[in-house]
Structure 1
């Protein structure tokens, strides 16, 4: 198989493909730029830098001001720590905390993929930052870029066989699918092979023409990013349907015997391009547990060879499956794997647990899930979560776990510590799950402005005030006990997974203030997904101003109170009734112009 479609009329590869081709397995530009005195990386180096888990950004709150003053942008770097299954030792967490204070902006951010992000790192500090992360047996390799990203698995520290088997499988797959080029070691680690880097081993499906350096990913790596999640049917805490590749555990007699394999999930879309859309992963086959690497490698190889390399808007696996159909895709995977695949078993996702609050681990110890609003670990006002966590981990030396809902879990707590821990929460102004609303508990937002280059409006900074209003409205209508997911993104790319939530809020436009600072603008409201993540929502209202979001939802909540059937969830109700019946109308051209 070739890495292009092999046809003479294949469209010209995108600029990103040309950069990957010329990078020499990710070696070019970055090392050279590290040696100059500039405050930022070149365009080519910044593109390659993503494969090392780093995005070049600038502070968009001051961008216009600096431009008027004829100064360069306020450049910084976001460094993402790749953490398979979201599991950190105490020392690893403290190392990230130290870096956040010394080279970052004194915050840490939990991502929706169980990672930690450092923000505000300057170019001059990048090399020492990445080296220090690897010295703690963590890594930034492949946390970004056109490769297999961080692999997700349930992070709850439940001490039973199935949870241990799942994290073992996630680690095995993550290592197998990782880049094999030594460029990362050579650039950041002086050629040393740290234990933080995966020991990938040989490919399982070698083919004529395989690249000698990157036999699975290929010389130009994948057409776009590739995401994998492991989940249990009764606990879809990793949102498996939102991933390119999903392993849904089949459990028998207290052990994982195999997985239903799902393919094609992806959230990103471009509203102006009908050819793009969110898509939920669909069942492909069933495999015994010992075949997860083989089936995963076959899926990646098909994506590598047939994904769109000319139009990055359509370069995700979901478009291959949408264009071909799942049967044709399955036939191609069977061709690569060399045998027929078994049909998926009649097992689907049924529930989700965010693992918040106090719970038993199963070994006599406890764990505590702590809500973290929009994943930002910070000290602000009476909340001292950043310093509080440092004090806690320094004292108790307990592991830290990160969830796909941007929350964290403190593991291995002795029952005798419970009163002390509750006092610690009070001392540092950290709200336990019992002290926040369901709406806030199940909400998520991406970072968006001011650092994300793709954001068109706020998300992390805008959602808290929406939740404040939402809490009041739900309480007024007697709905404060409802579990409903609210997810906001600052652009349509969907990093906080808004398209399968009960209420999705997707940034549409922003207005600049008189000082040139962009602020909360307008959003698309989507309704009809649900907490377990197996259904897409649909557009309800478009171009809704930030301060009118809850007002638009209020009559829908009233209708839900009046017409719900039994214990029907809000998302199920909206899906059953339909957004047109609930008053959803497309924005007019005049409304679009008024809010542009």
Structure 2
């Protein structure tokens, strides 16, 4: 952290995570020693938290936790790994390596595509953890800084049509990711048997600082008119501005975030603030300046108020912006005009401007596994064996088979259809619905999300059909807790888990992802939710204006008030 004392630094007893990071020897801790301890399947003391900086969360199967307790056994500890994959782009060869590891060395055998535009392995037992990292490394993938108090996987709009613009934006996503990565060699030393290098150089972490960031930090590169990365869910966003199809710079938006804490009104979702336009050559300096300002000014006393969004609210967006300009040595110009018209993925085939074709496959919940009658995992592997382009993971948990020449389309489509990766009867509502992982693996889960989504979507489809709008859809998302992984706080209808079978019902987001929904009913059952939605969807079907989306209707009709300023009116 900067030695210069700022009036914007929060004074008080530091959160224990600050001690943990300070004493971690730049994220090494005693992880290596823990790996050799076969008396437990988990990681102990500080290492439980430190492995997050290496891209892993310790979990256990909560479905069998109680039964193992009765047998005097510890929980079935395992880790979830989240890969670092800027922009979500990988090769078919990498996919096959991932597919094989999931099959042979995870408890569930699946690949999970995430809302962070990457993949996760779930259920990796301790003896296989090091092999996992080394297997990924050999194919050019790592999991550095995909969790913990650092800048995490950098998202980039998956635009397969504007090929040249996407290529430029994607390169910037990779550059930003590399620029903001931790510089410690802890990852290489522990997981890749890297040589231990003793150094007296300071600081080890010139951008992140040796105590790293006060809280997690998320960054995106967005290509209008598609907001598929939900920019307002992120701390730092670079909105691509193009002239004649060529990238010339970015509008920079800072301070978005969706997480909150039940019962704590000092926490709330917040949209990002527009700072203005910068030319391309200032991109990395501005990224570093935003991160270092949050590093130095962020709240290290109360982790619930440590995210960038709260720093902007506390110090003032203008003060934060001025500090970024000072540190980067730039002045933001007035933002260039842009518009979002969609944020979902375009399913099926589209032709890019380069003449190649791109097939977007809907993956319910992002879960790639061979289900009964739907061998999705095998199908993806079969495509990877013949595909010569790349795979793109979307921030909506779907998969794009990108860069397909015309003469290969038929073969790839046949594989996809044979393995139920394409199903013509998939409803628009299903395509516009999403959930986080939640139970049984997430330790924070309060209610079901991924496992409940198919049933919930079925009920939504039934309501739409009963009111004569079966071909329409509503942006519908479920999260098992208030931490925001399923991005329910940017949905037209968002369910936030409160307890087993109970959710807070939020209404009033919009289809473009630029408005936060407000709580309509608190802690209600699934049946109560759908009873309310039956009435509201019925009204929407009868009373809406031409082309009016559900989220816009409930606000215009006075069902719910719009969230204009989250810090002031989210809970009113």
- The bucket for the TM-score relative to the shorter chain is over 0.9
Q: Matches of residues 376-525 of structure 1 in structure 2 within 5 Å?
A: 376-432=367-423, 434-510=424-500, 521-525=501-505
Q: Deviations over 1:286-331 (max 9, x none)?
A: 1001111011111101100011112111110000111222112212
Instruction: Report the Cα offset of residue 279 of structure 1.
Output: 0.6
- Give the whole-Å Cα distance in 1 for the aligned partners of 2:309 and 2:4: 18
Instruction: Report the Cα offset of residue 245 of structure 1.
Output: 0.3
Instruction: Report the Cα offset of residue 253 of structure 1.
Output: 1.3
TM-score by length of 1: 0.90
Instruction: Report the Cα offset of residue 5 of structure 1.
Output: 6.0
Q: Matches of residues 80-99 of structure 1 in structure 2 within 5 Å?
A: 80-99=82-101
- Give the whole-Å Cα distance in 2 for the aligned partners of 1:572 and 1:453: 35
Instruction: Report the Cα offset of residue 332 of structure 1.
Output: 2.1
- Give the whole-Å Cα distance in 2 for the aligned partners of 1:185 and 1:482: 50
Instruction: Report the Cα offset of residue 457 of structure 1.
Output: 1.1
Instruction: Report the Cα offset of residue 81 of structure 1.
Output: 1.1
RMSD: 2.0
> Per the alignment, do residues 472 and 291 of structure 1 end up closer, same or farther by CA in structure 2, a change over 3 Å counting?
same
* Residue of structure 2 equivalent to 1:29: 30
543-552 or 302-311, which deviates more: 543-552
Instruction: Report the Cα offset of residue 9 of structure 1.
Output: 8.2
- Give the whole-Å Cα distance in 2 for the aligned partners of 1:229 and 1:483: 26
275-284 or 358-367, which deviates more: 358-367
> Structure 1 segments of 4 or more deviating over 4 A?
3-9
* Residue of structure 1 equivalent to 2:569: none
> Per the alignment, do residues 66 and 410 of structure 1 end up closer, same or farther by CA in structure 2, a change over 3 Å counting?
same
- Give the whole-Å Cα distance in 1 for the aligned partners of 2:330 and 2:231: 26
Q: Matches of residues 221-300 of structure 1 in structure 2 within 5 Å?
A: 221-300=212-291
Determine whether 1:186 maps to 2:189: yes
- Give the whole-Å Cα distance in 2 for the aligned partners of 1:261 and 1:45: 35
Instruction: Report the Cα offset of residue 355 of structure 1.
Output: 2.7
**Structure 2 counterpart SS, 1:43:** coil
Instruction: Report the Cα offset of residue 4 of structure 1.
Output: 9.2
- Give the whole-Å Cα distance in 1 for the aligned partners of 2:467 and 2:81: 43
Contact 1:80 1:115 in 2 (8 A): yes
Q: Deviations over 1:160-209 (max 9, x none)?
A: 3211110111111111111111111111111169xxxxxxxxxxxxxxxx
* Residue of structure 2 equivalent to 1:151: 154
Determine whether 1:162 maps to 2:165: yes
Instruction: Report the Cα offset of residue 36 of structure 1.
Output: 1.6
Instruction: Report the Cα offset of residue 580 of structure 1.
Output: 4.8
- Give the whole-Å Cα distance in 2 for the aligned partners of 1:581 and 1:335: 38
* Residue of structure 2 equivalent to 1:198: none
571-580 or 316-325, which deviates more: 571-580
> Per the alignment, do residues 9 and 498 of structure 1 end up closer, same or farther by CA in structure 2, a change over 3 Å counting?
closer
* Residue of structure 2 equivalent to 1:11: 12
* Residue of structure 2 equivalent to 1:324: 315
- Give the whole-Å Cα distance in 1 for the aligned partners of 2:374 and 2:135: 28
- Give the whole-Å Cα distance in 1 for the aligned partners of 2:275 and 2:558: 29
Instruction: Report the Cα offset of residue 415 of structure 1.
Output: 2.4
Equivalent of 1:560, from 535, 540, 543?
540
TM-score by length of 2: 0.93
Instruction: Report the Cα offset of residue 159 of structure 1.
Output: 5.7
* Residue of structure 1 equivalent to 2:509: 529
- Give the whole-Å Cα distance in 1 for the aligned partners of 2:4 and 2:521: 40
**Structure 1 counterpart SS, 2:46:** helix
Q: Deviations over 1:254-303 (max 9, x none)?
A: 11111110000111001210100001111012100111101111110110
**Structure 1: 5+ residue stretches without partners:** 194-209, 511-520, 583-596
**Structure 2 counterpart SS, 1:467:** helix
Q: Matches of residues 531-546 of structure 1 in structure 2 within 5 Å?
A: 531-546=511-526
> Per the alignment, do residues 262 and 98 of structure 1 end up closer, same or farther by CA in structure 2, a change over 3 Å counting?
same
